[in-house]
Chain A
């Protein structure tokens, strides 16, 4: 195996790593903005739930590569525009999170909600400062699944010429450089593990009451 490839191409690797991060994490942030109100809606109203939950299941069924290719036709973007990948991954992440958030909110004990109401919390503030924080552990679990999936899905985009570290796979195949492909695999997995660990830590940080219970138990 030709290992000199790696030191000679550090700049390129860093550039692709940045592209990979952008393509996989921006969708998670956008999706969070959409999924929280949708999840709230799905939890609040039965008709909304009856539409949102099956719809997100259906969206999740569409293969990512197919979505990458079909979106330019729908959005009018160029086939190699990063917008396609970002929109596609945002759709998956929203689909996954809506259900997660709806379930998490439904699992908030009704007595806690009642207590907050009795203490004079208005519905909006009650949602933000009582229900949402209690939903954080489940929300973080959903975010971890979505983020790891996104990081691994982005590289498939390399087939249509846009896939962050996936570019190392197609390039390594055409030029027959196994070390290039191996570098791509290792970096993708490391990125996924790192993102997962960061989210886990952030979730722990955001739920100090859980931490206290864990150490007490």
Chain B
């Protein structure tokens, strides 16, 4: 039978949309794990990124940590944590937050570091205290890159949250794992499609959010593109070429 038709049948069957294993519940579970992981990632990565970006100290550590964490295989990490801590939400969230940290760290660090030095000097010249410089000048200017990092992180976490199902948790990954076990390809493909759609939807929402909260002064016409992707493509087209922070080039790699 035609696979597309099977998937359509699965997706339009009412039974798959109700109850505790229905699509709406699975989507909520998926977003719940992803949201917690992203939150934990933000709590860990943003203060470090801001501190290092503001002081300029320890930048090689940030670059190294961001790149090193990226090479960690997510599935292995999750399973190791589960074996060590037992099955629970904590290992799932911890393992997923490890995915969120590199783009968040790179985005915050690069964002704060890349703020035009003359703008920072002007703020100091106007008599702002160091904390005011940070909160009122550096952070708003860094926002486009920070949010770029948040988008990358959210995307990565949502794409990977499916692994939670492997260790007996819910989320959209359940359809992949159960479908494989029951040799029900329509269920697997539908689950895969739903994960892809969820990722695209979240990306679209975050892109709109980014447009809404970034200061109009930083949009087009500014020296850099507010939608620049921090952790993903264009490794060398760093936001502001030839900035006074050459070590940044490594962040994107």
Contacts and interface: CB of A to CB of B under 8 A. Distances in A.
Chain B interface main SS type: helix
A188 B71 contact: yes
A1 to B, nearest CB: 10
Interface in A161-186: 161, 163, 165-166, 168-170, 172-173, 176, 178, 181-182, 184-185
A202 interface: no
B220 to A, nearest CB: 17
B217 interface: no
A169 B235 CA distance: 31
B160 interface: yes
A156 B75 contact: yes
B71 A152 contact: yes
A71 B170 CA distance: 24
Contact of B234 (A70, A99, A155): A99
Contacts of B219: none
Contact of B166 (A64, A159, A188): A159
A148 B234 contact: no
A182 B162 contact: no
A168 B71 CA distance: 17
Contacts of B185: 72-73, 79
Interface in A189-215: 189, 192-193, 196
Contacts of A169: 73, 75-76, 79
A193 B73 CA distance: 13
Interface of A: 56-58, 60-70, 72-73, 79, 95-96, 99-100, 103-104, 107, 137-138, 141-142, 144-145, 148-149, 151-152, 155-156, 158-161, 163, 165-166, 168-170, 172-173, 176, 178, 181-182, 184-185, 188-189, 192-193, 196
Given A99-B234, A100-B236, A148-B70, A66 B76 contact: no
B180 interface: yes
Given A96-B233, A144-B235, A169-B73, A159 B163 contact: yes
Given A56-B233, A141-B252, A144-B253, A165 B159 contact: no
B203 to A, nearest CB: 6
Interface of B: 3-4, 7, 67-68, 70-77, 79-80, 82-84, 155, 158-160, 162-163, 166-167, 173, 176-177, 180, 185, 188-189, 191-193, 195-196, 199-200, 203, 232-237, 252-253
29 contacts: A61-B196, A61-B199, A65-B173, A66-B159, A66-B196, A66-B199, A67-B192, A69-B176, A69-B191, A70-B196, A79-B185, A100-B236, A103-B234, A144-B253, A148-B70, A151-B71, A152-B71, A155-B75, A156-B163, A158-B75, A159-B162, A159-B173, A159-B180, A165-B73, A166-B73, A173-B82, A173-B83, A176-B83, A192-B71
B73 A184 contact: yes
A137 B176 CA distance: 40
B236 A61 contact: no
- Point out which of A60, A61, A63, A103 has the most chain B C-beta atoms below 10 A from its C-beta: A63
A73 B67 CA distance: 34
A90 B214 CA distance: 34
Contacts of A168: 76
